[in-house]
Amino acid sequence: MNKKLIVIAGLAVFLAAGSSVAYATHAWGKYHWNLSTEDTLANPLKLGDNLTTANWESSLAGASDDWNDSVLKNQIVGGTSPDCDPTLGQVEVCNDAYGENGWLGIAQIWVYRGRDGHIAQGVVKVNDTYFNWPAYNSSAWRNLVVCQEVGHTFGLDHQDEIFSNANLGTCMDYTNDPDGTILGQLDNQHPNLHDYEMMETIYAHVNSTSSGPGNGNGNGGGNGKKPTGVGADINLNDPSAWGQAIKQDGEGNDSLYRRDLGNGLVLITHVIWEESVN
Ligand SMILES: [Zn+2]
Ligand SMILES: [Zn+2]
């Protein structure tokens, strides 16, 4: 009797620890925009559309719509940065044939140094060099990657990083079967409820401490100081510019990088490699 209780208690502790680890690792450290839901209802976070094809714009429109079910509201605006140089206070989204550099898509955020983990600006890039290959040239692949990279710029990490695991039904899950039709499984083109819950957790403190309507500084809200030299001088497409690898995906490839830019900002790069299919 007592033994059984101990075993059950031990199991409960194990399960609790397991689930808290799973939740903790989903968030991208503590990175987030210093914007409450109220702020973004009044002034949605801008996703600058620098995309050059209707296919990509369709994927971005879908991702924007999906993520607007979260606590952080966004809007697509005309892009002003075809080269995808970052713009303070918003996310730039770009496609180009970036070459056979290995990556299918990247999400980069510039975070103010210090404990708050506030995001200054973000960039999403998708690589047409690979999306022109038959293996990736589908709306399902485009939707998965755009949804995932935009999710990263809001502060989310992956729910699962093993490509061959069964789909979890979220774009924050690596897969070789984005819409689930090859293996008859869940569709990974959109966020799921767990992503929305994570967003609530990540943004809880800005929502609970928000006093009055808005924080008065719109989407530029960081630590109140403008960063200088946002990194336009480094080639952000080149993995050698991303700094130190701090995490590996399920295939053992580096998937997350950190570089201190020395100007009060830290560059965080999340990458999905094209090896997934080949
Ligand atoms: Zn904060
Ligand atoms: Zn990712």
- Residue-wise pLDDT for 153-192, tens only, equals 999 999 999 999 999 999 999 999 999 999 999 999 999 9
Residue 244 belongs to some domain of the structure:
yes
Residue 85 belongs to some domain of the structure:
yes
Residue 8 belongs to some domain of the structure:
no
User: CB–CB of 270/152 below 8 Å?
Assistant: yes
Nearest Cα to 93, choosing from 84, 104, 105? Answer: 84
Residue 184 belongs to some domain of the structure:
no
Residue 63 belongs to some domain of the structure:
yes
Q: State the distance from the centre of ligand 1 to the C-alpha of 252, rounded, in angstroms.
A: 31
| Domains: count for the chain | 1
Residue 167 belongs to some domain of the structure:
no
Q: State the distance from the centre of ligand 2 to the C-alpha of 270, rounded, in angstroms.
A: 6
What does pLDDT average to in each consecutive run of 10 residues of the chain (278 residues)? Answer: 50 43 47 97 98 98 98 96 93 97 96 93 98 97 98 96 94 96 97 97 85 44 48 78 92 92 94 73
Apex 67 CA angle, 65 and 68, nearest 5:
65
Phi and psi angles of residue 163, each rounded to the nearest 5 degrees, phi first = -60, -35
Q: State the distance from the centre of ligand 1 to the C-alpha of 34, rounded, in angstroms.
A: 5
Q: State the distance from the centre of ligand 2 to the C-alpha of 172, rounded, in angstroms.
A: 7
Residue 180 belongs to some domain of the structure:
no
This prediction's pTM: 0.84
Residue 237 belongs to some domain of the structure:
yes
Q: How far apart are the first and last CA of the chain?
A: 54
Structural domain span for residue 262: 28-158+193-273
Q: State the distance from the centre of ligand 2 to the C-alpha of 271, rounded, in angstroms.
A: 6
User: CB–CB of 139/116 below 8 Å?
Assistant: no
- What is the structure's pLDDT at 227? 53
User: CB–CB of 204/184 below 8 Å?
Assistant: no
Q: State the distance from the centre of ligand 1 to the C-alpha of 17, rounded, in angstroms.
A: 25
